[in-house]
Amino acid sequence: MTDAATLYIDGKWTGAADGATFDVLDPSTDVAFGAASAGGAADARAALDAANAAFPAWSRTTAYERSEILVRAHRLLGERAEELAQLMTREQGKPIRMARAEVKYAGDFLLWFAEEAKRVYGMTIPSARADQRFTVLRQPVGVVAAITPWNYPISMITRKVAPAIAAGCTTVLKPAEQTPLCAVAVFEILHEAGLPAGVANLVTAEDPAPVSDVWLNSHEVRKLTFTGSTEVGMMLASRAAASMKRVSMELGGHAPFLIFDDADIEHAAKGAALVRFLNTGQACICPNRIYVQRPHVEAFTEAFTARAAKLKVGAGTTDGVTIGPLIDGAAMAKMQRQVDDAVAKGARVTTGGTAVRPDGLTGQNFFAPTVLADVTPDMLIYREETFGPIAAIVGFDDEADAIAMANDTRYGLASYVYTNDLKRSIRVTEALRFGMIGLNDINPTSAAAPFGGVGESGTGREGGSTGIDEYLDIKLIGTAL
C-alpha cells in the first residue's frame, strides 16, 4: 500500500478513482498525521463488482479452507498487536490500555469464527410420505455490505468480516471516516493471511453517502450489517427493505444500571465507574442512567464521585490516562448541552461539568469526567444517548419502580443489575427489556456470546454461535423417491 492508496479492491491497493484524499486527524491534537483515499461511487461500484465476481468460487471453498485463513489472520494480528493499539490510540484517541484490550477482542472474533466455520450444520427432516426426503442446507447469503463505527475501529470490523468469511460470503466494507487507517491495517492482515482477491474489499471515504448509495441501491448486495447510531441505522434499514436485503443492526444504547439496597455500595460504585467511563464513555454499552435505591443515593453518589474525580484526562498514549479525547467538536458540544440542560432543571454537578485542556495538548476535544446528581426524567441526559464521560444518578423507591424506570426508553441494548438477592436477580433480569444484562458484572460481552439489542437498539446478533447465522440462508430440498 502506498500513502493514501487506502482502497483495497479485488486484492489490490489503490487510490480513489478521482484521486481525492482526506486528512486523518489525531483527536488529542486536532492535527493531521496521515491521509486516506476519499472513495466515491465509482470505487464502491468497483468493490461491489469484485465481491460479486469472487462469490461463486469463494462460496464453494470448504469450511476448513476458510478457517485456515482466519487462523492465519489471528496469528498476524497477534504479532502486530502493539502496532495496532498505538495506531488506534492515535487515530481514535482511545487510552492505550483500552486499545490493547480491543485488539485482543478483535483477534478473538477471528479465532472464534474460524471454528464456527466448521459448525455450519444442516439437517434431515422426517416426511409424512414414505417416498419423500427433506434435507435442509445452510448456505452463504451472498455479497455483504458492512459499515463500521469509529469508537471500536478494529474489533467491529472483525466482528462483521470474520463471520462473513467463515460463512462463505464476500464483503464490501466502509469504515468510519474518522478511523480509516485502522481499517487499512486490518485489511493488510487479511491480504497477508491469503484471502483471495475480491473476497473482502475496503472503501475508505470522507463522505459516506455516495458509497452507501451504491450498495443500498444494488440488488447484488444481499445483506447489510451496520454498527452506529439509531437514526442512521433506521434510515439504512428502510432503504435496504426496497430490495429485501437481510439486515443486522447494532445501534444506540441507553443502558440503565440498577443498584439495590442489598448491594455493596463501594463495589457497585467501582463497577459503575469502570463501565460508565469505558472508552471515555464512547461505547454503546456504557450506562447512561444509574439508578440507586433510596436511602443509599447519597452514599453511592459520594463514592462514585470520588472515583470519577480521580480519573486522569489526557492523550491516550500518556501513562495513567483513562479519559482520552472525544472524537470531535460535535461530541463536545453535546456534552456541554446535556450538562447545561440538567443544571438548569435542578441537577447538581458533583465533579467535572466542563471542557478541560490537558497540559501540552492543542486538541479541544477533552471533557472532564462528570457526575450529575438529582437527575430527573425531564432532562435531556435522561432520554438521549450521551456517548461521553458524563454519569447521571437517579434515586428509586422499590423494585417495581426501578424496573419501570429502566424500561422507560426506546433503546434496549445493555443493562446492569447489582443485587445480592437471588430471587430479586431472577425477577429483575427477566423483567428488563434489553438484549444483554450484566448481573453484578460490568462486561457481559465476549466473542463467544451473542451481542445485540432490542427495540431501537437494533436487530440481529453478532458473536456467539448465532453470529454466523446472520450470514447464512436456509434452503430446503424435498426429494421424491
pLDDT tens, N- to C-terminus, the chain (481 residues): 556 799 999 999 999 999 999 999 999 999 999 999 999 999 999 999 999 999 999 999 999 999 999 999 999 999 999 999 999 999 999 999 999 999 999 999 999 999 999 999 999 999 999 999 999 999 999 999 999 999 999 999 999 999 999 999 999 999 999 999 999 999 999 999 999 999 999 999 999 999 999 999 999 999 999 999 999 999 999 999 999 999 999 999 999 999 999 999 999 999 999 999 999 999 999 999 999 999 999 999 999 999 999 999 999 999 899 999 999 999 999 999 999 999 999 999 999 999 999 987 888 999 999 999 999 999 999 999 999 999 999 999 999 999 999 999 999 999 999 999 999 999 999 999 999 999 999 999 999 999 999 999 999 999 999 999 999 999 999 999 9
CB 106 within 8 A of CB 154: yes
Every domain of the chain with CATH number 3.40.309.10 lies at 255-410+414-446
Q: How many helices (H) and strands (E) does the chain have?
A: 14, 20
What CATH code would you report for 255-410+414-446?
Answer: 3.40.309.10
Instruction: Quote the DSSP letter at residue 199.
Output: S
Active-site option among 250, 385, 456, 470:
250
Q: In sequence order, what are the residues at sequence separation of 6 or more whose Cβ sits closer than 8 angstroms to the Cβ of residue 308?
A: 273, 277, 351, 352, 369, 370, 371, 391
Residue 362 has what pLDDT? 85
Q: How many CB atoms lie within 10 A of CB 154?
A: 28
CB 282 within 8 A of CB 387: yes
Which CATH superfamily includes the segment(s) 7-252+456-480?
Answer: Aldehyde Dehydrogenase; Chain A, domain 1 (3.40.605.10)
Which element (helix H / strand E) includes 32? strand 31-37
Q: Which three cell numbers stand for residue 480?
A: 421424491
3-state SS string for 30-72: CEEEEEEECCCHHHHHHHHHHHHHHHHHHHCCCHHHHHHHHHH
- Tell me, yes or no, if 250 is annotated catalytic: yes
Bridge partners, 31 (sequence order): 26
Residue 3 has what pLDDT? 64
- Tell me, yes or no, if 430 is annotated catalytic: no
Instruction: Quote the DSSP letter at residue 433.
Output: -
Residue 360 has what pLDDT? 77
**pTM for the predicted model, two decimal places:** 0.96
Active-site option among 91, 169, 182, 284:
284
- CA dist., res. 187 & res. 200, Å (int): 8
Q: How far is CA 386 from CA 133, 204, 266, in A?
A: 55, 27, 24
- 428-457 in b/e form (b: 16+ CB < 10 A) is bbeebebbbbbeeebebbebebbbbbebbb
Query: What 3-state DSSP class applies to 17?
Result: coil
Helices 41-59 and 208-217 cross at an angle (nearest 10°) of 40
Residue 319 has what pLDDT? 87
Q: How close are the terminal C-alpha atoms of the chain, in Å?
A: 56
Every domain of the chain with CATH number 3.40.605.10 lies at 7-252+456-480
